A = this chain, B = another copy of it.
Amino acid sequence: MKRITLKDVAKACGCSANCVSRALMDAPDISAATKHTVRRTAEEMGYVINSQASALRKGNSNSIAILCDSLLNPFYSVMTHYMQSTLKSRGYNFVTFYSERETCEEKDIRQIVSAGASGLISFLAPDQKASQMLTKQKMPTVVLGRKSPCFDSVVLDNVGGGRLAAEYLLSRGATGVAYIGDHREMDCSLDRGEGYADVMKRHGLQPQSYFVDRNSTFQTIIRDILQSETQPDALFCFNDFAAYIVLQELSERGVQKAVCGFDDIRKELSFYGKMPTVGYDKQSFADKALNRLFLRIEGDKSQAVTEIQPVWLVTEQCAE
């Protein structure tokens, strides 16, 4: 026994499938009486619309693709959460795709297009082939958290955040501050470092930046720093995720250093321990991206824009 279809309901009501369809859509040219009967019968029979068929016929879909590289990264899961709420209220579903690398690749796009998504929110910057494909397929796309030359993007004020963090650590008495960035390929990693370096130079200090790459992880970097001659007494980390790893490594070695993170994920995921970090309004960050996306889905053809989300410092003092 298969799923109940329009036809089944039509047969039970003694009318045509078309009539049932329009009654359920609340079309104006169907009599109130018919609408009533149809709805009751559909309900009783447990009819549920096949939205794939509906989408095929209507030529649109109601699903948005989200592309990231791992939901283990709390930044992605938290942002995904905020988008979920908004999307649900707009009647969209929400399909999560994983890329195998830190960029959005052609094969990711193939999957997304194939799944019939009507738009894409990508946490990863599309590489060249992926960009071509997205353009060719006319897939409305917003890059969230990374810069993108060809697509709309919504990014944090990373340079500003880096400045805030560096200023804060110096204002608290640090005499040397190092920056521990993520991969160099991530513009946000570079930008935060740029803001940091800017402040360091302004204070007459030598910036000391480290980046994750094929041969180094946050763990190896912090070990290297601890073995170096000129040890900084404070560390600005790419994000809270990295900062917690660094704190863990420090505590295991019994070393005390001031550490500042980025993202204020503690706001959503209560952790023990107060750590200075850079925060922002995540719901509004998510909504900025979605609003852009909806504009594109509705056919906006204007040039790609980059919106910048303001950030602020979150310290023990300002907590609560």
Contact = CB atoms under 8 A, between A and B. Distances in A.
Dominant secondary structure of chain A at its interface with chain B: mixed
Contacts of A48: 110, 113-114, 137
A317 B111 CA distance: 45
Interface stretch (A77-85, A120-128, A191-199, A299-307): A77-85
A133 B46 contact: yes
Interface in A261-320: 268-273, 275
A52 interface: yes
Most B CB contacts (10 A, CB to CB) among A55, A72, A97, A113 go to A72
B115 A93 contact: yes
B71 A84 contact: yes
Contacts of A111: 93
A53 interface: yes
Contacts of A137: 3, 46, 48
29 contacts: A3-B113, A3-B137, A46-B136, A48-B110, A50-B56, A51-B115, A51-B116, A52-B56, A53-B56, A56-B56, A63-B115, A71-B77, A72-B77, A72-B268, A72-B269, A74-B269, A84-B98, A85-B98, A94-B95, A94-B97, A95-B96, A241-B269, A244-B272, A248-B270, A251-B273, A269-B269, A271-B271, A271-B272, A273-B273
